Structure 1
Amino acid sequence: MPNSHSTTTNGGKPENWYASWFDTPYYHILYKDRDYAEAQLFMDNITSYLNLPENAKILDLACGKGRHSIYLNQLGYDVTGADLSENSINEASKYANETLHFQVHDMREPWEEKFDAIFNLFTSFGYFESDDDNFTTLKAIHDSLSEYGFAVIDFMNVDQVIQNLVPSETKSVDGIDFHIKRYVEDNHIVKEIKFNDDAQDFCFYEKVKALTLSDFESMMDQAGIYLLDVFGDYKLRKFHKNDSERLIMVFK
């Protein structure tokens, strides 16, 4: 599970963890060793599978600092990267050019322009407390596609994640010891991240709804969305409920 957010030092869980945690430098420190080669392989595979036209307009939704947007742009696409985190968008905007744009955007809001492809990558879905908000996000993605456009949601495979959940570990990065706990609560997979820096204690949470393929299917049915294909990893192999690493859904 990649992403995380929300600080409280008083032990209470913040409502919108994602609005604060993603905006801190600590989020980027903790996850700086992510496997971006694997991510690029995924971009290569999915764009070739979708057979996108040259200069296709792609929306990278929840783009963070824009690393995947930048790579998609290098492949020749006209890319917009969008994220709720102003800090991340400020950082990403340093790489903007005529065919690569970044803007702060709430994924629940549809876009006026239409895209040939919308990518929502690395479990950047299911952050909201309310099921309605998750449904609204799905609908907004659907409504922002061009007539022949495709959307791709790359989510964790909840069954496999819960089966293999590491309850606690400590990761030391840049001299900071991140104490991480993982557990399932109220149908959410929760990651609690505690650490001390400059004699100050911090506590952040990542909290993602434990959405299964059947949860997505019923949301899609309700939204009038046609699910075209489901893959289980970045090499686009078949999805297996018990052991696939990812749940990658393609719809139009």
Structure 2
Amino acid sequence: MTKPLVIKIGGSILEQESALSSLLLVLKSNSDKKIILVHGGGSTVDQMLMQAGFTTKKKNGLRVTPKAQTPIIIGALAGTVNKKVVATANQLGLTSLGLSLADAAMVTCSKHPENIGEVGVPTPNNYSVIELLLSQSILPVIASIGALDNGNLVNVNADDAAVAITQLVDGDLLLLTDVAGVKDAQGKILKSLAHAQAQTLIEQQIINGGMVAKVNAAFNAARQLRRSIAIASWQQPQQLSLLFVGQPIGTRIIPD
């Protein structure tokens, strides 16, 4: 593959040091490739909000971000989670640099149209810093925190952030999750999945529970990018090496 690969991570892998280290070691062994990490960190945010006496609310799957919670959310994502990933990578010998969407105005944000507080809608803007880092074989690790035109910081859905970065670098997108892919009625991993097929599997409750949200988010990302993307498991990071030589992994999500 010649295009940059944007890998979105979140959830459990950020809480399991051994899993994160395994992924980063695979990236280190492929350091000649152009790779970018984009991360969320919802569980860390939830823990820090709870410690501060706040409750977490979501609307249509998006985190509601009141102004009073914004400093904690920014600190959790652009601080605690981002620097943990960077420190782990550097300790393993994989040179990395932590960034947010706001750095060098790589991605600009507008206020989200829904009434969900300090949340931004990202738009790709400036490739120069990422281009420089990739040219020096430095891994960019990007937190899903952006800025509005007035300079106010906003929380950005991590999937949306990954899409914006993928658009920015004209790359391919891989969503790493806690499952190896989308399964059919026989429990086998589907190599590809079209939207109509996904809706049928959801109606039949073959795709169910938390996987419904993951699949819908993946289709939304593929639709925005107007190209297919992959869902694969962070528990099998060695599979990434197959992706780098053009072999499919996980389930490829085919947009409408």
What TM-score, normalized to structure 1?
0.32
Higher relative contact order (Cα pairs below 8 Å, separated by 6+ residues): 2
Greater helix fraction, Structure 1 or Structure 2: 2
What TM-score, normalized to structure 2?
0.31
Greater strand fraction, Structure 1 or Structure 2: 1
